Structures are given as C-alpha cells and as structure tokens.
Amino acid sequence: MKFEDSLVCGQIVANYKNIIVDVMLDDGDEVSAFCPEQELKNQLYKVGARVWLEPSEEKRRRVPFVCQLTDCGEGRIFVNNKYKNQLFAEAFKSGALDEVLGSYKYIREIQSGEELKYV
C-alpha cells in the first residue's frame, strides 16, 4: 500500500487526552498526532512504542499528524480504519491471504447489524 505523503517515524513520548499522543520523530522534532483507533488506545499507543505518522489532510486541524501504524512490541499494527478496505483488497488481489482464506474467490465486508448464520 502506498500513502499519498511519505510516512514519518518516531517514538511516543507522551500519551494524553483520549485521542492524542506526542511523538519524538527520528529527525529530533516533537509533534502531536491523532490516534484513530480509540477503543484500543491504551494497548496500541504506549509510551516508547514506535509509530508511523502521515500529515493530516485537514489543514485546519490543530493536530498536524495522524497515526497510521504502530509497533507496540508484537509487530506493526495498521491502526487507521480509513484505509482498511483498500489494504484488504490489495492483500486479497496479490494472493497474500491465500494461506489464510484458502480457495475463496469473493469476499465482502459484513455490514453493521447484518445477521449471518455463517461466514
């Protein structure tokens, strides 16, 4: 998956409020970043964790970056749901999920509130 802007990498130095972290970038700058996955915030955004940030598309936003990936010791975790469908489609098309999914040729997203007897 390619991002429109290149990602910048750093380490979380402070975790405050419900949706914001302070990050010391590898170049020495300290910036604030929005955390899109709020439900797992305490597990994903620990002080010391490595994160990959993308500049915010919203130029009027006070927080200039959005977290895209985090590494809290168990490997990189993609945290921004904005790209989930695109990322999954690319992985499915490239065959990266063949071992997990077997011979399935068609996959769709389950809609909220949809009841299925089986998937």
Q: Are 47 and 22 in contact (CB under 8 A)?
A: no
Among 58, 45, 56, 50, CA closest to 3: 56
- What are the C-alpha distances in Å from 66 to residues 34, 35, 40? 5, 6, 16
Q: Are 33 and 66 in contact (CB under 8 A)?
A: yes
pLDDT of residue 29: 94
* pTM check: above 0.85: no
Mean of pLDDT over the chain: 78
Query: How is 56-93 classified by DSSP, letter by letter?
Result: -S-TT-SS-EEEEEEESSSSEEE--GGGHHHHHHHHHH
* Amino acid (1-letter code) at residue 37: E
Q: For the segment 58-115, what is each residue's pLDDT rounded down to a tens digit? A: 777 788 898 888 887 767 777 777 777 777 777 777 877 777 666 666 666 667 776 6
CA separation for the pair 111, 92 (Å, rounded): 19
